[in-house]
Amino acid sequence: MQKNTFIMKNILSFFFLFLCATMAQCQPDNLLEKIQVSTNENGELLINVSEEHIQKFKADGFLKYSDFGAKGDGKTDDIDAIAAAHEIANQHGLLVKADEGATYYISGKDRTAVVQTDTDFGTATFFIDDTDVENRNAYLFMVNSSLESFKLEGIAILKRNQEKIEVSLPGACLITVTNSNVKHYIRFGRNQNNGSSQTDIFMVDKNGNVDMDAPIIWDFEQITDITALPLDDKTLTITGGKFTTIANREESKYTYYRRGFGIRRSNVLIDGIEHRITGEGDYGAPYGGFINVSDCANLKVRNTILTGHKTYSTIGSAGLTVSMGTYDISLGRSLNISFVNCSQTNDINDRTYWGIMGTNYCKNIILDNCTFSRFDAHKGVANATVRNSTLGHMGINAIGSGLFTVENTTIRGSRLINLRSDYGSTWQGEFVIRNCVFVPANGKPTSASLISGAYSGQHDFGYTCFMPERIIIENLHIDDSNHPEDYKGPAIFGNFNRQMTDDFYVEKFPYVKTKEVILRNVTTASGKDLRLSDNPYMFKDVKVIND
């Protein structure tokens, strides 16, 4: 009997040990040792993650913000947990998921979540509190590449439209070149400045062949800096999420806030993000883009809802009052950027809100099926397309080169296309406008003109200024039914220089004017014919062809 009892006790002990071991292997998530997220004395994140957690994440194929302590209750500051989750995801190539239905509060702490893997924000909501910010230049999410840029050697000059550079590269690269001894975009007007260093950005393959869809647009007689950044092959995808910015309440001056997404990686898709703004008062500092893109190629933003910022004024560099540009979209030194099926929450014709986008040094920008308050290119765009879209009170403002195509689009701005006078009203290339509707000044009484700008010929912008060499306009309807009593009909060109009315006016920096305008089926609601300009002398050499 004692022997049987001894055997039974041993069997039970063995079974108990086996059960404990099995439970240890199969225990639920909440029995795992908690992930520890803290900071050191320098404010840097310290993340303690067990190997068991890593193996679980790899088995699941993703990790969540709550795994790193995010509460998602709309009150607790979750930015450290969010940043920690992305750091571990980056190390192990894992998808990041926001917790379904969570509401994350993000304080003004100087913390950036670096995103290098696919991220699904899903149905989560994020409140971004900008009322007390430690670092207004710190992005909340920085989408960047794990690949490193490097300097190029042996390239002394570059030529416009050059097809190849003599380099051997590890793969396709984005090339950025600068000549700090030449100044371009020497701005004129209330925000005048001394210009920016000559710069260009283009793509090459591993043998140095230039992608001629985004060609070199300047002659570089000297190069002070040239770098190459390898392009990521895999597309990084960011989806979902509802973001609300609680606006800053700082003094209205040019201290831009960049508390959104910084995109510094090529081949990125943003799909289904929503951004709204609350708490704007009588004053505030401007924003440099909730989506801020720079030094990258091949970005698509689709099915996304953004918001225009309230317009505030300050004193510009000329000592006069100016309205400050403030943006939800900011693009700089980027190639092949498209916005597809995107819109904004506020009225695109409400002039109390600034135009939603601003761009510099870009090539191949596309708006497709978008409803925005404006399209804008400050320091030049090479090739742009607006199609199947509606643009509001600020319309199309641009300077640049190449082909600008506007098709199947309604423009409700003061002009169909305005060539920005602060940068020389220059476009070295062609305009093609087809199947469009132009509603001047959103239907308010105005003397309509299609192409506007201003150029005195007395200011050096750092480059020769051009008007489009050729303009093709076909199937355009101008809704000028509401117009002043002395209205003579819409003009092709605005009055670019009211002083240039005869041969005695001398341009110190001559303007290269349009050679020909081709018109096909241009109609007006007023019944009045399209005419050349209020300043026919300035455009007397333009050939107008009515097909």
DSSP one-letter string for 127-156: EEE-SS-S-TT--SEEEE-SSPPEE--S--
End-to-end CA distance of the chain: 114
Q: Please determine, for residue 243, whether its predicted confidence score (pLDDT) is greater than 90.
A: yes
Partners of 115 in beta bridges: 143
Which of 478, 469, 489 has the alpha carbon at shortest distance from 532? Answer: 489
What domain range includes position 167? 150-230
Residue 437: what residue type? V
Q: Round the average pLDDT of the chain to a whole number and report it.
A: 93
Element (H, E) at 404: strand 400-407
Residue range 140-177, pLDDT digits in tens? 999 999 999 999 999 999 999 999 999 999 999 999 99
Q: Please identify which residue in the block is written with the tokens 């993650």.
A: 49
Q: Please determine, for residue 380, whether its predicted confidence score (pLDDT) is greater than 50.
A: yes
Residue range 345-364, pLDDT digits in tens? 999 999 999 999 999 999 99
pLDDT exceeding 90 applies to what percent of the chain?
92
Neighbours of 537 (CB within 10 A): 13
Residue 492 in domain: yes
Number of domains comprising the chain: 2
The three-class DSSP label of residue 4 is helix
Phi, psi of 442 (to 5 degrees): 55, 35
Q: For residues 336 and 193, give the distance between their C-alpha atoms in angstroms, rounded to a whole number.
A: 29
* Among 171, 197, 230, residue at a domain's last position: 230
Residue 27: its pLDDT value, please? 43
Which of 53, 98, 93 has the alpha carbon at shortest distance from 72? Answer: 98
Burial class of residue 340, CB neighbours in 10 A (0-12, 13-18, 19+): middle
Which of 106, 107, 113, 108 has the alpha carbon at shortest distance from 135? Answer: 108
Residue 276 in domain: no
Residue 439 in domain: yes
Q: For residues 418 and 229, give the distance between their C-alpha atoms in angstroms, rounded to a whole number.
A: 34
Residue 520 in domain: yes
Residue range 315-349, pLDDT digits in tens? 999 999 999 999 999 999 999 999 999 999 999 99
Residue 7 in domain: no
Partners of 268 in beta bridges: 236, 299
* Among 179, 214, 230, residue at a domain's last position: 230
What confidence category does residue 34 fall into, taking pLDDT thresholds of 50, 70 and 90?
Answer: confident
* Among 182, 211, 230, residue at a domain's last position: 230
Residue 21 in domain: no
Residue 213 in domain: yes
pTM: 0.92
Q: For residues 365 and 388, give the distance between their C-alpha atoms in angstroms, rounded to a whole number.
A: 14
Residue 224 in domain: yes
What tokens appear for 463 in the block?
A: 């480059």
Pairing of strands 196-204, 173-184: antiparallel
Mean pLDDT of 65-91: 98
Query: Of 16-20, 118-122, 294-298, which range is least confident?
Result: 16-20
What tokens appear for 37 in the block?
A: 């997220």
